[in-house]
Structure 1
Amino acid sequence: MAYHYARFGAQIVITARREKVLQQVAEKCKSLGAQQVFYIAADMGNDSDPDKVVEFALEMFGGLDYLVLNHIGPTPFGMWEGDVEHVKWLMKVNFFSYLQMAWRALDSLEQNKGSIIVVSSLLGKLPSPFVAPYSSTKWALNGFFGSLYHELWMKKSNVSLTICTLGLIDTESAMSKVKDLTTAPAYPATDAALNIITAGALREAELYYPYFTYIAALIKDWFPSITNYFIRTTFKYNT
């Protein structure tokens, strides 16, 4: 997404835990045409880092037009073995930090008629095996930001909110986790990224990528037996 924003000549702040990787991404963004690129290393599992990142962006630019919430904490996929502490930590990274950043950025986005873009997943709409901790965080995102969408509308806010429901995307980390668990097709990350930032720019309420995620979400309640069959045949479990 940062590379697409760079091609459009944006001013960008990016964050992740690894400073060396951030530096490499920032340099490529500059070569692609970004006006300015700043980065800040942060760990969304720390209580203060979500606020720190937004404050850094506001300090660099004086305001924000877009807040793209896309980070996730690493988690193994497989049968849940009862590690409640890991689920608590993952909720902190994948959910609570999103709330912190959105709230901290809201005043600036309001002034600039800006947008919040929340990257969620089809796993936040369809209960599936092997992903219980991860899926729970995505359900939480959909519930909270779905409610916030209505509240912003009721307050006649200038801020748009886009919730993105993604299928399996062929990022290196995603493919390494699911290679032995599912037969579901993976879709190109660069195309997903362009769809995400386009939906945010157009101030759309929802994005489904690829198209079948919308169909899957629709038929979940209409035809639960078909949905359950699809889920159980898509995932593989070796006893």
Structure 2
Amino acid sequence: MRKNLEDAVALVTGASSGIGEETARSLADVGADIALLARREDRLEHLADELEADFGVETLVLPADVRDEAAVESAIDQTVETFGRLDVVVNNAGLARGSDVESMTTDEYRQMMDTNVDGVFYVSRAALPHLRETTGNLIFVGSFAGQYPRPFNPVYAASKWWVRGFAHSLEGQVGDAGVGITVVNPTEVRTEFGSEDGESFEVRFEAGEVTEPEEIANAIRFAALQDGSTVSELDLYRRDKFAGW
């Protein structure tokens, strides 16, 4: 396990808020230069300025949508052209739309699958050749919904079961090339998640009521610091999660 990520380059998707934003801070804190990928360019610019000022790292702002295959490939290429390497990739971008299958619109379904499944595939496919060169780490933000049934949103759960199955199968495919694969599974995290269709977790829960994004970011950093070994899977949840089950 490395002590830091100095001279390493990390790319974080969904970096404009929540887990992605805190992950960028956490990786910069241990010396990594950071490529920030998300749709909201103004937020990325603000975060980039903060990381450079607070941690003395270099940053690259990549306004892109992970659902856009060409944009993802261009972002990965731009990262390697700018920094000369790619050591850590965090597949964090994701969303939840709708809930009940019978009332879910096709647009809601497609947005979820295009982001949570296709976007993860596009980023992974584009990043893997570069991670092979650096024997780097590819980290997926999964979910407890990818391990247990989620009756109130089966489609979101299915997308996260896909992420987990894809990640672990990929782990077997590229492990002999020295690429580390990790899945980090949070439960509820106090972020903007859920705001697409109503009240976000940030609004719904008080501080300390559920997991904070910083806690997930620290788990991601732990996985990113691995060198030679792999943290295959990490589950993070509040300590009373299973009380009364």
TM range (shorter): 0.7 to 0.9
Relative to the length of structure 2, the TM-score reads 0.78
Deviations 1:114-151 (A, max 9, x none): 01001100011111132223222111101111111112
Which structure 2 residues correspond to residues 84-233 of structure 1 after superposition, within 5 A?
84-153=106-175, 156-174=176-194, 176-177=199-200, 185-202=209-226, 203-210=230-237, 230=245
Aligned equivalent of 2:100: 79
Task: Report the secondary structure of 1:2's partner residue.
Answer: helix
- Structure 1: gaps spanning 5 or more residues: 217-225, 231-239
Cα pair distance change 1:87/1:51, threshold 3 Å = same
- Structure 2: gaps spanning 5 or more residues: 1-22
- Which whole-Å CA distance do the structure 2 matches of 1:31 and 1:98 have between them? 30
Answer whether contact 2:97 2:111 (CA < 8 A) is retained.
no
**Partner letter of residue 183 of structure 2?**
I
- Which whole-Å CA distance do the structure 2 matches of 1:157 and 1:211 have between them? 35
Please tell me whether residue 67 in structure 1 is matched to residue 67 in structure 2. Answer: no
Would you identify which runs of 4 or more consecutive aligned residues in structure 1 move more than 6 Å? none
Bigger CA radius of gyration: 1
- Which whole-Å CA distance do the structure 1 matches of 2:225 and 2:45 have between them? 26
Greater RCO, CA 8 A, separation 6+: 2
Cα pair distance change 1:127/1:53, threshold 3 Å = same
- Which whole-Å CA distance do the structure 2 matches of 1:24 and 1:133 have between them? 34
- Which whole-Å CA distance do the structure 2 matches of 1:166 and 1:199 have between them? 14
> By percentage of residues, which structure has more helix?
1
Please tell me whether residue 56 in structure 1 is matched to residue 83 in structure 2. Answer: no
The sequence identity of aligned pairs, in percent, is 23
Relative to the length of structure 1, the TM-score reads 0.80
